[in-house]
Amino acid sequence: MQSHLACFNPACRARYDITTVLYNCPKCDGLLEARYDFGDLDAESLKKTWRERRMSNAPLCQSGVWRYRELFPFVDDDRHIVTLREGNTPLLEGPRAAEYGGLARITFKHQGFNPTGSFKDNGMTGGVAQARRLGMKRVACVSTGNTSASMAAYASAGGLEPLIFIPHGNISYGKLAQALEYGAKTFQVEANFDQILALVRVLAERLGIYLLNSINPFRIEGQKSIVIEMMDQRDWRVPDWIVLPGGNLGNVSAFGKGLREMHELGFIDRLPRLAVVQAQGASPFYEYMCAQGKKPFRAQEHPETLATAIKIGDPVSWPKAQFEIETTNGVVERVTEQEIADAKAIIGQCGIGCEPASAATLAGIRKLTANGVISRGADVVAVLTGNVLKDPDYIYRYHTGQLKAPDDSMIKATFGNAPVVVPNDAERIAELIS
Ligand code: F0G
């Protein structure tokens, strides 16, 4: 099986050996992607093999990423792989959320069930495998929190030294706590995500550290497994829409690539439409796509949102995301802080729960059904990217009417559920309950 790195820019398409340490094309500065010669891969027999692996106790078969390794065959030696049994995340029905979103039915693919509580684990196991294959000792990332939590865990589990760079004061404690607990050297930099990414790229080059941001093509390869597993769980029935929150735009790029490859190889008979939802205060991709090619991509210098996971003004993967949205006849939407907060509470009421960025999906769906882009009867899968416990502070503030938007306006506790302080008095409590 032949694999190589290729420039994503259609005007360049330069090729590099799969073991070259590169994040951008040296010729044109374009994004890079892993490409394979899949040969005569038989979709039907692989579907069977993947099902059988679910019954196995072998670690790589138990992984909801490496179970599907034939679709990202870049690893030459399985001993490089570090698995924490990532993936295996459920498809959940949320009737209350469907009603709120203007749909007859909705399914959530809940990536918050991953070992470190977010979809980053699917990609990180891929990136760390490549780091170990390349003989790297140290790995680094800049993160709004989830990437760092995931990288810390996988690097430490694999005997690598994790170095983490995060915007000072702008990530949730749940995520920072994970990085510390998993033993990462953690730098809180007084700059925003986009500025720190530029800084870390310089440091990585100078100090020979392997960069594990989503610009790393092997992270994207691992993340393809989310949509492969989703199709497997749906017995290969393609939904009409897949809805994702958009920050750095790595995830939509991975979904698009995975879907195209599955389509080309005969695993699925059509492509679903992809919808990306951004927070209004951090929506450079939305603005770019709305301009329909009339304006160049422009980064947002001061992104603002309480959904800190997607507080990104200069998403690196926008060219890939644009390609995948156009290829799937997809759309980009944006939603306000209030819309995110209310949608999140509704997902919570379904007994499901998620972190703020993930709830942008349901908020976006509500808008897209209201304006007729998504029809009520459509088969829609929304990807919940992070666990409800990633940002408990946000939850408490919302339910107690204390959540403030970045512009200092109060978020209304539309679906608030504040705790009640009571005396130690059975009579009084009985009265309150009945
Ligand atoms: N949802 C969550 C919970 C995230 O953590 C992120 C990204 C996204 C959505 C957006 O995904 O960047 O692929 O478009 N978090 C990154 C991080 C940036 O550093 O953890 P994307």
Q: Are 125 and 86 in contact (CB under 8 A)?
A: yes
What type of residue is 283?
Answer: S
Mutation choice for ligand 1 from 124, 188, 251, CB with most ligand atoms inside 8 A: 251
Q: Does the beta carbon of 144 sit less than 6 angstroms from any atom of ligand 1?
A: yes
Q: Among 214, 347, 344, 332, which Cα is nearest to 280's?
A: 332
Torsion, Cα 54 55 61 66, to 10 degrees, reads -10
CB atoms within 10 A of CB 48: 10
| Dist CA 107 CA 93 (whole Å) | 5
Ligand 1 centroid, distance to 146 Cα (angstroms): 7
Question: For residue 403, what is the enclosing H or E element?
Answer: none
> Locate tokens 């100090």: which residue?
207
Q: Among 32, 15, 22, 211, which Cα is nearest to 131's?
A: 211
| Dist CA 99 CA 366 (whole Å) | 9
The whole-number pLDDT of residue 264 equals 97
Q: Which two tokens stand for residue 39?
A: 């040969």
Ligand 1 centroid, distance to 174 Cα (angstroms): 15
> Locate tokens 């070992």: which residue?
115
| Dist CA 104 CA 365 (whole Å) | 12
The whole-number pLDDT of residue 169 equals 81
| Dist CA 429 CA 239 (whole Å) | 48
Question: For residue 125, what is the enclosing H or E element?
Answer: helix 120-133
What type of residue is 124?
Answer: M
Question: For residue 383, what is the enclosing H or E element?
Answer: strand 380-384
**Beta strands 107-110; 138-142: pairing state:** unpaired
CB atoms within 10 A of CB 429: 13
The whole-number pLDDT of residue 194 equals 86
Q: Does the beta carbon of 355 sit less than 6 angstroms from any atom of ligand 1?
A: yes
Question: For residue 36, what is the enclosing H or E element?
Answer: strand 32-37
Q: Does the beta carbon of 213 sit less than 6 angstroms from any atom of ligand 1?
A: no
User: What atom in ligand 1 is closest to the CA of residue 145?
Assistant: 20
User: What atom in ligand 1 is closest to the CA of residue 358?
Assistant: 1
> Read out DSSP for 70-108?
GGSTT-S-GGG---S----PPEEE-HHHHHHTT-S--EE
This prediction has a pTM of 0.97
Q: Which two tokens stand for residue 140?
A: 């680094």
φ/ψ (deg, to 5) at 311: -85, 75
| pLDDT tens-place string over residues 52-94 | 999 999 999 999 999 999 999 999 999 999 999 999 999 999 9
Cβ within 8 Å of residue 55, ≥6 positions away: none
User: What atom in ligand 1 is closest to the CA of residue 251?
Assistant: 13
Q: Does the beta carbon of 249 sit less than 6 angstroms from any atom of ligand 1?
A: yes
Q: Does the beta carbon of 222 sit less than 6 angstroms from any atom of ligand 1?
A: no
End-to-end CA distance of the chain: 67
The whole-number pLDDT of residue 2 equals 86
Mark the ranges of the chain whose per-residue pLDDT is less than 50.
none
The whole-number pLDDT of residue 293 equals 86
Q: Among 57, 64, 110, which Cα is nearest to 83's?
A: 64
The whole-number pLDDT of residue 170 equals 79
Q: Are 395 and 413 in contact (CB under 8 A)?
A: no
3-state DSSP call for residue 119? coil
Q: Which two tokens stand for residue 388?
A: 């409800």
* Environment class of 243 (CB within 10 Å of its CB; exposed 0-12, middle 13-18, buried 19+): buried
Ligand 1 centroid, distance to 311 Cα (angstroms): 9
Ligand 1 centroid, distance to 205 Cα (angstroms): 24
**Beta strands 15-17; 2-7: pairing state:** antiparallel
Q: Among 140, 150, 124, 142, which Cα is nearest to 226's?
A: 124
> Locate tokens 């093509």: which residue?
217
Enumerate the β-bridge partners of residue 109.
Answer: 91, 383
| Dist CA 270 CA 382 (whole Å) | 18
Q: Are 141 and 211 in contact (CB under 8 A)?
A: yes
| Dist CA 90 CA 201 (whole Å) | 35
Q: Does the beta carbon of 111 sit less than 6 angstroms from any atom of ligand 1?
A: no
